[in-house]
Amino acid sequence: VIGHPRYQGSKRIAIFLSMPDEIRTEEIIKDIFKQGKECFIPRYKPLSNQMDMLKLSSAEDISSLTLTSWNILQPRDDDSAREEALAGGGLDLIFMPGLGFDKKGNRLGRGKGYYDTYLERCMKHPSGKPYTIALAFREQICESVPVAENDVQVDEVLYEDC
């Protein structure tokens, strides 16, 4: 990931904080700050399909986040001091999680449509849609995954041996 040309050329990057069954992202987050890039993480809005990407000030800033009922660390709902990516310069790159992927770029998420809805918002931003890279285990690559009309394909799926 760290040697990927899209990563190297990006300044504003959104990345998920790993759940136990996902690719570990801690080292990537540390590298984002080491490289002087800006890092944004998801804040999911409960009982909706809305998500914002909020800026982290450092890798250590993760320790200030709260755990949701889904066991995901994210900024508190009343944390209004953080920049939302689309309120500023947009995003260059989004690293995306998922349950399954196919080689056509289709992604099976957790069913709420958070990333699809967020990418629709990105397309309306002056900076346009960021490049999207899904991070996966080899076992998550399928022949095909079910897709709906509003599902947005990822630009690239990275997994071991790809």
For every residue of 59-128, DSSP letters joined together read GGGGGG-EE-TTS-EE--TT--SSPBGGGTT--SEEEE--SEEETTS-EE-SSS-HHHHHHHHHHTSTT-
Q: Is 7 annotated as belonging to a binding site?
A: no
Give the C-alpha separation, 90 to 152, whole Å. 18
Q: Is 113 annotated as belonging to a binding site?
A: yes
CA–CA distances in Å: residue 144 to residues 28, 43, 51, 53, 101: 28, 29, 26, 29, 7
Q: Is 108 annotated as belonging to a binding site?
A: yes
Q: Is 67 annotated as belonging to a binding site?
A: no
Q: Is 159 annotated as belonging to a binding site?
A: no
Q: Is 110 annotated as belonging to a binding site?
A: yes
Q: Is 17 annotated as belonging to a binding site?
A: yes
Q: Is 76 annotated as belonging to a binding site?
A: no
Q: What share of the chain is helix, strand, coil (3-state, %, to 5)?
A: 20, 25, 55
Q: Is 109 annotated as belonging to a binding site?
A: yes
Amino acid at position 156, single letter? E
Q: Is 99 annotated as belonging to a binding site?
A: no
Point out the annotated binding site for ATP: 107-115
Point out the annotated binding site for substrate: 17, 22
Point out the annotated binding site: 17, 22, 107-115
